[in-house]
Amino acid sequence: MSRVETLSGWGRWPKRDCVVDDFDPATDTPDRFNHSTITRGAGRSYGDAAMNPDMTFLGPLRNRFISFDPEAGDLVLQAGAKLSEVLEAFVPRGWFLPVTPGTKFATIAGVLAVDAHGKNHHAEGSFGDHVNWFDLMQADGQIKRCSPKDSVHLFNATIGGMGLTGHILTVSIKLRRIETAWIQQKTLPAANLEQAMQLFEDHQDATYSVAWLDCLAKGDARGRSLIYLGEHASVAQLPAEQRSKPFDYPAPKPKSMPIDAPNWALNRFSLKAFNYLYYRKGTKAPPVELVDYDRYFYPLDAIHQWNRLYGKRGFAQYQCALPLASAKEALLEQLDAISKAGLGSFLAVLKRLGPGAPNRPLSFPIEGYTLALDFPLTPQALTLMDLLDEITIAHGGRLYLAKDSRMTQATFEASYGDALTQFRALRRQTGAYDAFQSLQSRRLNL
């Protein structure tokens, strides 16, 4: 039975009352509705991508596992299952996700629909590169098997397609073998952006790499960073007493933000102090340490509802990808703009991206660098983000739809270019345009 709930994305802005219902593929075929619908997974995209006031389907309970082939590592499961469920079942048996975003509480369908990338993008590509096939319910209610061989256009448009091509029902993904639940982490301090980028280029052979960046540092220290490299640890690399149980690790104590932080808690002084202390701590960290996969990949998941840190007003995450040739110039311009605006980001993350997937029209990564920033939702931050958009576009970059809650149609068209025409055409041809819409797709005229 349908009901009304106030929904928002992980950034808690914008909020809208939406008619919601549980999704049952046996009865809820899109052709049954005379208005558009969107499927919502775990609600972990930041903006308005999984919200439709007319009908938002809640899907997380379609989470059954269907089969596993231990030779190939192929796992077939209903797309509402969360990454955490895959990890819980398969890490103890020596398997890991091929690609993972920074939260394990996203659903498989969600990760596929945003074509999520992880700390291994430079080597392994994005999530879509590890999908064998999926079943998609189209606007006419027909279920189509899509793979690199069958219904290729639909396969490519759906990976990164923000749920706008149909309901993703069942997915087959390829897991990767691991020997232990541990990551060998190496921390490398970089005094400025140039050094940080050089370290990324020098360590292209690392399995995982990512940098935390102090976006408030000025002058010669602009873009000072801590680069974290990671390798799956082998059994031999574990301390002797852990070798007999290589998949055991101390369970993280769940913490929670029970209430909203006051809006003034994050200001330029507290941010500056935090960033300074964080960097100093990093430069003193042991250069190599063993970290369990939970702490390495999902540090923020340990604090449930960390999004309340930004107070009631909510926040926006700004994530752009910049092409290799102009990345440095663009990043410096962006850091200057942030500093000039007197705004800082609590978390700024820099990552080297490998080649993108030009055949997937809405897939975000392009070869170069990606920067992700959080801003509390204030008028100044919105103005700053418009300015950052201009820099991104001028350098041939683009924004990540999974994080977006505010870019304009013009920004979007200027950055995704001709691929959009292709995506829009496919939506019209398959009836998806009328059947599947979100607040985001309406804002961007997708």
Partner 1 sequence: MIPADSPVLILGARSDMARALAHEFAKEGHPLMLAARNADTLSEDMTDLEVRFQAKVTAHDFDILDVDGHAAFLGNLPEVPAVVVSVVGFMGDQDESAINPDAARKVIDTNFTAPCLMLELCAGRLAELKRPTAIIGIGSVAGDRGRAKNYVYGAAKAGFATWLSGMRQKYVDSQLHIMTVKPGFVRTSATADMDLLGPLTDEPEAFAKKVMKALKRKSQVYYDIKWRAVMGVITHLPERIFMKTKF
- Interaction site with partner 1 (CB under 8 A): 1, 3, 5, 21-22, 58, 60-61, 64-68, 75, 77, 85, 88-89
Beta partners for 146?
Answer: 134
- The least distance separating partner 1 from the CB of residue 5, rounded to whole angstroms, comes to 8
Query: Residue 182: what are its φ and ψ, rounded to 5°?
Result: -110, 150
- The least distance separating partner 1 from the CB of residue 375, rounded to whole angstroms, comes to 24
Per DSSP, 249 falls in state: -
Q: Are 145 and 90 in contact (CB under 8 A)?
A: no
Q: Which is nearer to partner 1, 261 or 337 (CB)?
A: 261
Q: Which is nearer to partner 1, 56 or 120 (CB)?
A: 56
Beta partners for 21?
Answer: 57
Q: Which is nearer to partner 1, 90 or 375 (CB)?
A: 90
Q: Are 362 and 415 in contact (CB under 8 A)?
A: no
Q: Which is nearer to partner 1, 169 or 393 (CB)?
A: 169
Q: Which residue, among 224, 206, 228, has the nearest Cα to 215 in the 3D structure?
A: 224
Instruction: Give SS3 for 188.
Output: strand
The CA distance from 351 to 128, in Å, is 19
Q: Which is nearer to partner 1, 84 or 326 (CB)?
A: 84
- Using alpha carbons only, give the angle 116, 121, 127 rounded to the nearest 5 degrees: 35
Q: Which is nearer to partner 1, 86 or 362 (CB)?
A: 86
The residue to which tokens 């994080």 are assigned = 403
- The least distance separating partner 1 from the CB of residue 308, rounded to whole angstroms, comes to 10
Q: Which residue, among 399, 382, 380, 383, has the nearest Cα to 49 in the 3D structure?
A: 399
Q: Which is nearer to partner 1, 6 or 142 (CB)?
A: 6
Per DSSP, 321 falls in state: E
Q: Which is nearer to partner 1, 89 or 341 (CB)?
A: 89
- The least distance separating partner 1 from the CB of residue 431, rounded to whole angstroms, comes to 28
For 367, the token pair is: 């070869």
- The number of helix segments (H) and strand segments (E) in the chain equals 13, 21
Q: Are 71 and 56 in contact (CB under 8 A)?
A: no
Tell me the CB-side half-sphere exposure of residue 432, using CA atoms within 13 A: 27
- The least distance separating partner 1 from the CB of residue 169, rounded to whole angstroms, comes to 13
- The least distance separating partner 1 from the CB of residue 120, rounded to whole angstroms, comes to 25
The CA distance from 95 to 187, in Å, is 25
For 30, the token pair is: 């899109």
- The least distance separating partner 1 from the CB of residue 176, rounded to whole angstroms, comes to 18
Instruction: Give SS3 for 396.
Output: coil
- The least distance separating partner 1 from the CB of residue 128, rounded to whole angstroms, comes to 23
Burial of 176 (0-12, 13-18, 19+ CB in 10 A): middle
- The least distance separating partner 1 from the CB of residue 49, rounded to whole angstroms, comes to 20
Query: Residue 355: what are its φ and ψ, rounded to 5°?
Result: -55, 145
Q: Which is nearer to partner 1, 69 or 289 (CB)?
A: 69
- The least distance separating partner 1 from the CB of residue 21, rounded to whole angstroms, comes to 8
Antiparallel, parallel or unpaired: β 56-58 and 15-22: parallel
Q: Which is nearer to partner 1, 20 or 199 (CB)?
A: 20
